Chains A and B, each alone.
Chain A
Amino acid sequence: MAHDHGPGQDGESHAGHSHEGSHLSETELRVRALESILIEKGYVDPQALDRFIETYETKVGPHNGAHVVAKAWREPDFRDWLRRDATAAIHALGYIGRQGEHMVAVENTPEQHNMIVCTLCSCYPWPVLGLPPVWYKSAPYRAKVVRDPHGVLADFGVTLPEKTRIRVWDSTAEVRYLVVPMRPAGTEGWSEQELARLVTRDSMIGTGLALSPQQAAETGR
């Protein structure tokens, strides 16, 4: 799916397909070479490599953040804790560690919508959101969101009410931000699990909103 790829990632720009009948691009060959050299030199444990991949492909992902948000929607005490000390509150749910060492939760309100970016690289709260999508790490988003967040929201098909201000949080340090989207109407009395299904990854970055019960039903979440 070419549309999922960043600039220069389409294979055509790497003069691939010409290496002694191999279908591997230059990048693929370099990664393969480097990995085998690192193993040969004893610098990495091949099984550790698989473990890293497995962790972020199957275990850690935005379902963690959705759990945090759903709990904050339901439990005022947890929401207060999240406001005061997001690192500890999130840690208490078991979401800890790398790229989530120093967490801050920012709550959307009718008055203020929050959006997260890392203009300088790709800083992202891994323990609650997993690895960032391609667009989060790519030039179009990093360049535009600090200057024209309304334009970015339009790219995601989102419009905000007139009276809602926008704040963009640039993750320039090791502090990681999690947006707590607004709780959709018509969800009174819902369980944590039901609420979590409304919390999309993009709603926790600020490029989306939480799904309404109707939207969730339509998308089969």
Chain B
Amino acid sequence: MNGAQDLGGMMGFGPITPEPVKPVFHAPWEKRAFAITLAMGATGEWNIDMSRFARESMPPERYLASSYYEIWLAGLETLLAERDLVRPEEIAAGHSLRQSRPVKRVLAADQVDAALAKGGPVDRPASAPARFSIGDKVRAKIMHPEGHTRIPRYCRGQTGIIETIHGCHVFPDDSAAGRGENPTWLYGVAFDGRAIWGADAAEDLSLRIDLWEPYLDPL
């Protein structure tokens, strides 16, 4: 979706503020927001693509005014409400107001290390050969889906070159919508900076973007 999350190329946000490695968290509540997001992610009630879609579905003015853990918190509240696990009025009340259904899994403390080590690989066996080969010229499609997608606006319609074939990966557009994993080929595509930004970009800039096959047309 063309939400506020798709930031590449926007202007006016001002300079970047570097920061040291520590502290990792900047307020105690950030730790809690982080931990409940990961723990609820482990319940299997949604996948990572659904959680990204929940975050980017925030109204743009709210997204841009929020810190990243505030965005995570808002996304988590949305996912919980959509599945009727926690209703907004319960958060307002500060406690559970009813018996809600159990979640699929509850991650115990002694399972955390193993769950983190396992992660969530998204490479899958291929069901069809890759359409493109390394060195092929492609055009990123002009597309504006209202659902989740991982093709940034700044590269849509632009010509690039296939540099890497990563393998067959879960297709986020389908996965976020609950249409299944539908693994499809994922490519590393190189774009010339000036092709994207015109003469205002530095001559020596190139971009590499990971794009799934359904985002690409042959040239």
- Residues of A at the B interface (CB closer than 8 Å) are 1, 3-9, 13, 25, 27-38, 40-45, 47-53, 55-57, 61-62, 96-102, 104, 117, 119-122, 130-131, 133-135, 137-144, 146-150, 152, 155-156, 164-175, 201-202, 207
Contact = CB atoms under 8 A, between A and B. Distances in A.
Contacts of A27: 29, 70, 73
Nearest to A162: B204
A172 B202 contact: no
B90 to A, nearest CB: 6
B102 A166 contact: no
Contacts of B21: 61-62, 130, 133, 201
A119 B7 contact: yes
A168 B26 contact: no
A45 B150 contact: no
B150 A8 contact: no
B100 interface: yes
Nearest to B190: A167
Task: Give the size range of B's interface with the partner.
Answer: 35 or more
A189 B86 CA distance: 58
B7 A143 contact: yes
Interface of B: 5-11, 13-19, 21, 24-29, 31-36, 38-40, 43, 48, 52, 55-56, 64-68, 70, 73, 76-77, 80, 85-86, 90-96, 100, 102-103, 106-109, 111-113, 115-123, 150-152, 154, 164, 166, 169-170, 172, 186, 188, 197, 201-202, 204-212
Nearest to A57: B24
B24 A51 contact: no
A208 to B, nearest CB: 8
Contacts of A121: 5, 52, 55-56
A43 B85 contact: yes
A25 B64 CA distance: 19
A49 B106 contact: no
Contacts of B117: 96-98
Given A8-B65, A170-B207, A40 B96 contact: yes
A34 B73 contact: yes
A27 B9 CA distance: 30
A38 B142 CA distance: 42
Q: Which 8 A-B pairs have the closest CB atoms?
A: A47-B109, A119-B8, A9-B67, A173-B210, A49-B35, A137-B68, A6-B67, A143-B10
Given A42-B106, A168-B207, A155 B29 contact: no
